[in-house]
Amino acid sequence: MYTTEAGLIRQDMKMALVHERDIHRVAVPAYSDIEHQTWATLLANQQRVLPGRACREFLAGLEMVDFPRDHIPRLADISDRIEATTGWRLVRVDGIVPDEEFFALLASRHFPSTDFIRKPEELGYTPAPDMFHDLMGHVPLLTDRRFCAFFERFGQVGVRAFELDHPAKQWLPRIYWYTVEFGLIREHGQHRIYGSGILSSPDEVLFSLSDQTEKRSFDIEVVSAETYDIWHMQQKLFVIDSFDQLEDEFARWADKLF
Ligand SMILES: [Fe+2]
């Protein structure tokens, strides 16, 4: 799921305003054979490119979640697997979630996921969220306690920023973009990927680690001031040393805000 900066939403991107918190009460869509095949193709593509490129926490989570290879999974089943590890749960949404609602979901350890899949012609990248992005990109790290601690804190700070109508409302989506969506991490001196926007796109996986991208050490002050473009491959990426660093820097930054 993406958060957004004002003005970047297209008319044809649905805004999700209503969702059911109990994922088990949500009817499962009747997916077509083409849609199941799209899932299978996307998953097979990622399974090929991710070893040696995704960070170890993500790969461990991917193994734990064990997505079905030949059909679209039920959100309820995936939610149950996450809940058994970290207590986080999925909620089903129609599309992009407004930031205020998104932060409230994270703060209560819920992650919004769509239940529709992209068109076959959008296999490489789709700027609008679909369930392959939401599940493949985000779910594996929702099984990691360290990452989830950061994510919950991130949601709490977002909720507070909206309560106070604080300028951090604009800064937090940028931090989210350059970490949760497009973050890199150092692992044994190598760059590895933890950002969901990269990990759910085969093109972006290869591009992100190539010498065509600028990789800068993570600095939360820089990142919070850095705007972003959701329509193109990401040229500028920020690299954390560890999830500890991410959580600690974020906590220090947030403590100074309010
Ligand atoms: Fe996302």
pLDDT score for 170: 95
**Ligand 1 mean position to 95 CA, how many Å?**
11
**Ligand 1 mean position to 255 CA, how many Å?**
25
**Ligand 1 mean position to 123 CA, how many Å?**
16
pLDDT digits 0-9 by tens, 25-75: 888 999 999 999 999 999 999 999 999 999 999 999 999 999 999 999 999
**Ligand 1 mean position to 137 CA, how many Å?**
7
User: Checking DSSP bridges between strand 184-187 and strand 190-193, what pairing results, if any?
Assistant: antiparallel
**Ligand 1 mean position to 127 CA, how many Å?**
10
Any idea of the CA torsion for 170, 173, 176, 182, to the nearest 10 degrees?
A: -120
**Ligand 1 mean position to 129 CA, how many Å?**
7
Q: Please tell me whether 138 is known to bind a ligand.
A: yes
Alpha carbons 104 and 109: distance in angstroms, whole number: 9
Edge to edge, the sheet with strand 190-193 lists: 190-193, 184-187, 236-240, 214-217
Which residues contact residue 211 at a Cβ distance below 8 angstroms, ignoring those fewer than 6 apart?
A: none
Angle between helices 243-257 and 145-163 (to 10 degrees): 20
**Ligand 1 mean position to 196 CA, how many Å?**
6
Widest CA span of the chain, in angstroms? 52
Alpha carbons 205 and 153: distance in angstroms, whole number: 27
The residues with which 214 forms a beta bridge, in sequence order, are: 236
**Ligand 1 mean position to 2 CA, how many Å?**
4
Q: Which residue segments constitute the domains of the chain, with CATH numbers given? A: 23-257 (1.10.800.10)
**Ligand 1 mean position to 119 CA, how many Å?**
18
The parts of the chain modelled with pLDDT lower than 70 are 1-20, 125, 127
Q: Please tell me whether 191 is known to bind a ligand.
A: no
Q: What six digits make up the tokens of 131? A: 């369930």
**Ligand 1 mean position to 164 CA, how many Å?**
26
Q: Please tell me whether 19 is known to bind a ligand.
A: no
In 3D space, the residue among 188, 250, 193, 239 whose CA is nearest the CA of residue 216 turns out to be 239
